[in-house]
């Protein structure tokens, strides 16, 4: 693994290795281990979008590992406006050891990876959110779920998180049923990539059909950052796609509920579900830290962990 721009940058064994390393780092930290395998190493956080979980978990990850993170907002860099993406990449590549980028367009994080000469991690783009998907499946894996046998029901927008969940499912053997309104399906290129990887997925406009017999119900906001102008249109399109107690009742009795947060309570998910006993949302959020620590260690080739 040279970069993590897409889930497709990973192989099946690399995913399993990342999960084992994340579990090991998590256990050691909780046991009081304070080893610092990335002492002296620096991470640049290039963020065109604001963030709570992605920014904090990457910054804390570098602190835990002995390194340092430098946050660079869109206003500070003017990525692709004040200075070209290749020039920003070539400069950062001479100063820091790794870049985590949260970009408006997927082409921007691809451009950084192409020109930086150092590892680049996609911290979210309009096409994928690989760190989120990896932390989510790590959460299921550490709870003992057999990823090759689970059935995931994605309820809502066929967005960037959905894309990475679909691709990761194709690599781990999980099956995915996507329920979304017509016109909001996952992009055809992602569907094609999943087929090439041997993935098992279906797309339906019926959320109950997708939830039927599912092991995992996953949803995300209906209106993401930058889509505020579409608010009324989206609220009308997605009103049947709320994850509530009725919909959860169609899943297996053992089913769990996931959400990448932030949650728009009362829209895509109810308080009773997001705060209920089936919810894994805070475990997902915590595991962003542990999974990304494993990712940084793997990308920078640190052996003393």
- Cβ 218 vs Cβ 259: under 8 Å: yes
Which candidate in 41, 288, 290, 292 is catalytic?
288
Check if 129 is active-site.
yes
Residue 219's contacts (CB-CB under 8 Å, 6 or more residues apart) are: 154, 155, 156, 241, 243, 257, 258, 259, 268, 269
The candidate with the shortest Cα–Cα distance to 273, out of 264, 164, 141, is: 264
User: Of 53, 115, 126, 132, which is the active-site residue?
Assistant: 132
Name the one residue in this structure whose structure tokens are 């082409």: 107
Give me the catalytic one of 3, 8, 53, 129.
129
- Could you confirm whether 206 is annotated as catalytic? no
Say which of 3, 53, 55, 102 is annotated catalytic: 102
Please provide residue 301's backbone torsions phi and psi, each rounded to the nearest 5 degrees: 65, 30
Phi, psi of 216 (to 5 degrees): -135, 130
CA dist., res. 40 & res. 232, Å (int) = 49
**Active-site residue, from 126, 136, 157, 220:** 220
**14/1 Cα distance (integer angstroms):** 8
Tell me if residue 162 is catalytic.
no
The alpha carbon of residue 276 and the mean position of all alpha carbons in its chain are separated, in whole angstroms, by: 22
Residue 102 is among the residues annotated as catalytic for this protein: yes
259 catalytic per annotation: no
Under the phi-then-psi rule, with left for phi > 0, alpha for psi from -120 to 50, and beta for the rest, what region is 151? beta
Catalytic residue among 64, 191, 260, 290: 260
Q: Decide: 69 and 58 in contact? Cβ < 8 Å.
A: yes
Tell me the three state secondary structure of residue 171: helix
| Catalytic residue list contains 260 | yes
- Catalytic positions are 102, 129, 132, 220, 260, 288
């Amino acid at each position: 693994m040279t970069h993590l721009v897409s889930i497709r940058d990973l192989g099946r064994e690399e995913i399993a290795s990342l999960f084992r390393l994340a579990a090991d780092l998590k256990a050691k930290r909780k046991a009081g281990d304070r080893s610092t395998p990335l002492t002296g190493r620096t991470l640049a956080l290039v963020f065109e979008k604001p963030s709570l979980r992605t920014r904090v978990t990457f910054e804390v990850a570098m602190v835990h590992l002995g390194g340092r993170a430098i946050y660079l907002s869109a206003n500070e860099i003017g990525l692709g406006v004040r200075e070209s993406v290749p020039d920003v990449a070539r400069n950062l590549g001479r100063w820091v050891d790794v870049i985590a980028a949260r970009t408006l367009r997927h082409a921007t994080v691809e451009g950084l990876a192409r020109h930086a000469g150092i590892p680049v991690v996609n911290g979210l783009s309009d096409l994928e959110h690989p760190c989120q998907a990896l932390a989510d499946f790590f959460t299921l894996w550490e709870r003992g779920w057999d990823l090759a046998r689970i059935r995931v029901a994605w309820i809502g927008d066929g967005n960037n998180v959905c894309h990475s969940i679909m691709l990761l499912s194709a690599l781990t053997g999980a099956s995915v049923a996507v329920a979304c309104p017509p016109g909001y399906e996952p992009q055809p290129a992602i569907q094609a990539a999943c087929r090439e990887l041997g993935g098992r997925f279906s797309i339906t406009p019926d959320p109950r059909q997708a939830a039927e017999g599912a092991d995992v119900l996953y949803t995300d906001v209906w209106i993401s950052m930058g889509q505020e102008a579409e608010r009324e249109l989206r609220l009308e399109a997605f009103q049947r796609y709320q994850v509530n107690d009725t919909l959860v009742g169609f899943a297996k009795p053992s089913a769990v509920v996931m959400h990448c947060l932030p949650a728009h309570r009362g829209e895509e998910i109810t308080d009773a579900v997001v705060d209920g006993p089936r919810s894994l949302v805070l475990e997902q959020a915590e595991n962003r830290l542990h999974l990304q620590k494993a990712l940084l260690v793997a990308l920078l080739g640190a052996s003393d962990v």
